[in-house]
Chain A
Amino acid sequence: DAEITQSPRHKITETGRQVTLACHQTWNHNNMFWYRQDLGHGLRLIHYSYGVHDTNKGEVSDGYSVSRSNTEDLPLTLESAASSQTSVYFCASRDTGQATDTQYFGPGTRLTVL
């Protein structure tokens, strides 16, 4: 079955280190998204991509970057991790069509920055 996976599921890192979170989907969806989830804020969009070599900033993109070299993967990089980036990160891909604009979410990565 097609799916969307994230790795690692849990990560502890130190302030200032570079961290990359992986996201892989097997639906062949062109649109992919990265969100962070924090209590009291819901889900906030970090970056999104509409296809290979396309990346766009979301509402909370500072300190994060993404690259899209193929359809299946959209890795999220924290260039220099900060304690404010401690959060749960969700990757999503989007099925488009007239009847549905469904986003399918991965299981999430819990990141702790010490």
Chain B
Amino acid sequence: QQQVKQSPQSLIVQKGGISIINCAYENTAFDYFPWYQQFPGKGPALLIAIRPDVSEKKEGRFTISFNKSAKQFSLHIMDSQPGDSATYFCAASIYGNQFYFGTGTSLTVIP
């Protein structure tokens, strides 16, 4: 059973557009929600993370929106660039222990 459900599986966006990736979870005990970015042949790298006591976190062009009541969170990439083309994973954990990952979204930004 997938603890964290991620959509869409793939996404194509024009340069300068907004990329939006969504995740949903069921376990209300999750207290840490990171997003990871992975380039081909590399390990995932932390992009941005949020805790459930805030509804939004922004770092540069990347924003996490968090809806605790709906048990959903999303990643928004503003002004998407070709260099953002990568696979993105959402995740959730309890006290930073076992991490449960979404199935990933392959983002392609077209110049």
Give chain A's interface residues, CB within 8 Å of chain B: 31, 33, 35, 40-45, 48, 58-59, 90, 92, 94, 96, 100-108
Q: Which of B49, B91, B96, B98 has the most CB of A within 10 A?
A: B96
How many angstroms between the C-alpha atoms of A96 and B32 in the bound complex? 12
Task: Report chain A residues within 8 Å CB of B43.
Answer: 90, 92, 105-108
Spot the interface stretch: B14-22, B66-74, B100-108. B100-108
Q: A42's contact among B41, B42, B104, by CB below 8 Å, is which?
A: B104
Contact between chains at A43 and B96 (CB < 8 Å): no
Q: Which of B97, B98, B100 has the most CB of A within 10 A?
A: B97
B44 at the interface (CB under 8 A from A): yes
Give chain B's interface residues, CB within 8 Å of chain A: 6, 32, 34, 36, 41-46, 49, 89, 91, 93, 96-104
Overall SS of chain B's interface: strand
Shortest Cβ gap from A3 to chain B (Å): 11
Shortest Cβ gap from B21 to chain A (Å): 13
Contact between chains at B98 and A42 (CB < 8 Å): no
Contact between chains at B44 and A105 (CB < 8 Å): yes
Contact between chains at A42 and B102 (CB < 8 Å): yes
Task: Report chain B residues within 8 Å CB of A94.
Answer: 96
How many angstroms between the C-alpha atoms of A21 and B4 in the bound complex? 28
Shortest Cβ gap from B51 to chain A (Å): 9
Q: A101's contact among B41, B45, B49, B89, by CB below 8 Å, is which?
A: B49
